[in-house]
């Protein structure tokens, strides 16, 4: 008995969710009538969608299973929020991995740059010494 009541509550919650999804996303009607672009009111809301949502809400409030329906809806919302939290955690993990990779790449480039500077400094010093030696060799000896 409790299982069938829960099943009915689940069906009712799914119906409400589908209706509210339809209301919020301007989807086609359940009776397969052609989708007509809704005409928003001054407040920016579609009157037909609001009427369908109000009717669904009244049906839930008049149902003897409304407590179970709301429990199922709360569970669905909690599940959705948990999934969003999981996606956020995955994103943060991916971002951290990307940051680490970028940091390692930057360190590698910095090390290569320092090595190039050292080699350049050594070449400059060697060229300076060679120049100095050539100048010394060109100077006549002043010993007389």
pLDDT digits (tens, 9 = 90+) for 11-53: 655 665 555 554 444 445 555 555 556 566 666 778 898 899 8
Of residues 29, 24, 21, 16, the one with CA closest to residue 45: 24
- Give residue limits of the domains in the chain: 1-72, 88-144
**Phi-psi sector, 32: left (phi>0), alpha (psi -120 to 50), beta:** left
What pLDDT, in 10s, does the model give residues 55-100?
988 988 888 998 999 999 999 999 999 999 999 999 999 999 999 9
* Dihedral sign (CA 21, 25, 29, 30): negative
Percent pLDDT > 90 in the chain is 51
Cα-flanking dihedrals φ and ψ of residue 78, to 5°? Answer: -65, -40
Contact status, residue 2 vs residue 65, Cβ threshold 8 Å: no
Tokens standing for residue 4: 């069938």
What's this model's pTM, rounded to 2 decimal places? Answer: 0.47
């Amino acid at each position: 008995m409790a299982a069938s009541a829960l099943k009915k509550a689940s069906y009712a919650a799914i119906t409400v969710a589908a209706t509210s999804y339809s209301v919020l996303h301007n989807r086609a009607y359940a009776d397969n009538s052609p989708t007509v672009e809704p005409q928003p009111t001054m407040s920016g809301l579609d009157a037909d969608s609001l009427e369908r949502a109000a009717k669904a809400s009244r049906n839930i409030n008049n149902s003897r299973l409304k407590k179970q329906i709301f429990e199922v809806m709360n569970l669905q919302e909690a599940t959705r929020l948990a999934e969003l939290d999981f996606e956020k955690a995955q994103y943060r993990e991916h971002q951290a991995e990307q940051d680490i990779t970028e940091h390692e790449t930057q360190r590698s480039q910095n090390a290569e740059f320092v090595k190039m500077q050292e080699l350049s400094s050594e070449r400059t010093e060697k060229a300076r010494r060679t120049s100095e030696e050539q100048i010394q060799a060109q100077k006549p000896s002043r010993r007389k």
